[in-house]
């Protein structure tokens, strides 16, 4: 039963350097901060970081899987508040959970929380879906 | 630095952006989406960022794309994006400010099919000091 305040099941996506390369190729965003550790360090980052838009795309997958339909999303918003840091040769988590915050007819608004290594990486993350 | 005269202006983007099934498939594959009859909700970011880069780095606007980070992002989809869609595109520089030496630019991109608005994306882009 979908009611305001319902917390949806948590889900973990795993991110590694291979996924960053795949996202870079699929999205056209070849910024070296997402692939080249030496470059990332040279511009003051702690390590290679994930594309904010990869994080948002995975949170979008969480939303459309819950909706049961990749066509369900009408609005989707996120602020990139902290980077997802991706060291070489390991997988880091992107842990996603949502709360139903509004129901208006067949439209459901979700407030989304995304963390990596326990740190909140998205702020003000919201989606409006038709269901 | 961004030319302040460009704030509030709307720029014509690419005359036509064609959405292909193979582009949808590649994007979907990265996030593990197997239903590819429609594009994932963030799919238009590629086209949006390409518009922004072209328009914001033009000499009369003057943004330094090499120091750019993405601050926030919003999508509004009137309907799902599907293979075969052909859009014209505009980009509007909605706001610009400088804080602690960082340039903060808010841009909107509209995707139109004929006269019909199909999708809009809003991005805040930050050029680090």
Residues of A in contact with B30 (CB under 8 A): 19, 22-23, 26-27, 54, 57
pLDDT, one tens digit for every residue, chain A (131 residues) = 789 999 999 999 999 999 999 999 999 989 899 999 999 999 889 999 999 999 999 999 999 999 999 999 999 999 999 999 999 999 999 999 999 999 999 999 999 999 999 999 999 999 999 98
Q: Looking at the complex, does the CB of residue A56 fall below 8 Å from at least one CB of chain B?
A: yes
Span B16-36, average pLDDT? 96
**Chain B interface residues (partner A, CB cutoff 8 A):** 23, 26-33, 35, 37-42, 45-46, 49-50, 69-78, 80
Contact A61 B32 (CB under 8 A): yes
pLDDT in tens, B73-106: 999 999 999 999 999 999 999 999 999 999 999 9
Sign of CA dihedral A76, B78, A69, B49: negative
Closest CA to A53 of B116, B18, B3, B45: B45
Higher local confidence (pLDDT), B14 or B124: B124
User: How many C-beta neighbours within 10 Å does residue A110 have?
Assistant: 24
Q: Looking at the complex, does the CB of residue A122 fall below 8 Å from at least one CB of chain B?
A: no
Q: Which of A61, A63, A79 sits opposite B71 (nearest CB)?
A: A79
- Sorted by sequence, the CB contacts under 8 Å of residue A96 that are 6+ apart come out as A10, A11, A12, A13, A58, A59, A62, A112, A113, A114
What ipTM did this prediction achieve? 0.95
Closest CA to B50 of B9, B111, B5: B111
Q: Measure B101 CA to nearest chain A CA, in Å.
A: 16
* Percentage of residues in chain B having pLDDT higher than 70: 100
Q: Which of A28, A60, A78 sits opposite B40 (nearest CB)?
A: A60
Higher local confidence (pLDDT), B12 or B27: B27
Q: Looking at the complex, does the CB of residue A24 fall below 8 Å from at least one CB of chain B?
A: no
Residues of B in contact with A80 (CB under 8 A): 69-73
Structure tokens, B103: 């340039």
**Per-residue pLDDT at B51:** 87
Structure tokens, B109: 């991109």
HSE (side-chain half, CA atoms, 13 Å) at B129: 6
Q: State the pLDDT confidence band at B65, using cuts at 50, 70 and 90.
A: confident
Nearest CA in chain B to A75: B76
- Is the pLDDT assigned to residue B14 strictly greater than 80? no
């Amino acid at each position: 039963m979908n009611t305001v305040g319902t917390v949806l099941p948590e889900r973990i996506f795993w991110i590694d350097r291979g996924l960053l390369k795949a996202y870079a190729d699929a999205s056209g965003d070849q910024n070296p901060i997402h692939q080249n550790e030496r470059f990332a360090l040279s511009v003051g980052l702690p390590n290679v970081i994930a594309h904010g838009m990869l994080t948002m795309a995975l949170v979008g997958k969480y939303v459309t899987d819950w909706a049961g339909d990749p066509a369900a999303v009408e609005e989707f918003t996120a602020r990139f508040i902290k980077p997802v840091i991706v060291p070489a040769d390991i997988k880091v988590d992107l842990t996603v959970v949502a709360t139903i915050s509004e129901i208006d007819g067949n439209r459901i608004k979700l407030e989304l929380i995304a963390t990596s290594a326990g740190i909140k990486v998205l702020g003000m993350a919201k989606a409006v879906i038709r269901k | 630095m961004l030319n302040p005269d460009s704030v509030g202006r709307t720029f014509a983007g690419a005359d036509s952006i064609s959405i292909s099934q193979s582009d949808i498939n590649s994007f979907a594959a990265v996030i593990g989406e197997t239903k590819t009859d429609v594009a994932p909700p963030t799919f238009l970011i590629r086209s949006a960022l390409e518009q922004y880069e072209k328009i914001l780095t033009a000499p009369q606007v003057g943004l330094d794309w090499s120091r750019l980070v993405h601050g926030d992002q919003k999508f509004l989809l009137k309907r799902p994006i599907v293979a075969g869609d052909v859009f014209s595109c505009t980009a509007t520089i909605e706001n610009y400010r400088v804080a602690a030496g960082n340039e903060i630019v808010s841009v909107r991109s509209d995707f139109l099919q004929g006269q019909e608005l199909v999708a809009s994306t809003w991005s805040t882009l930050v050029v680090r000091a």
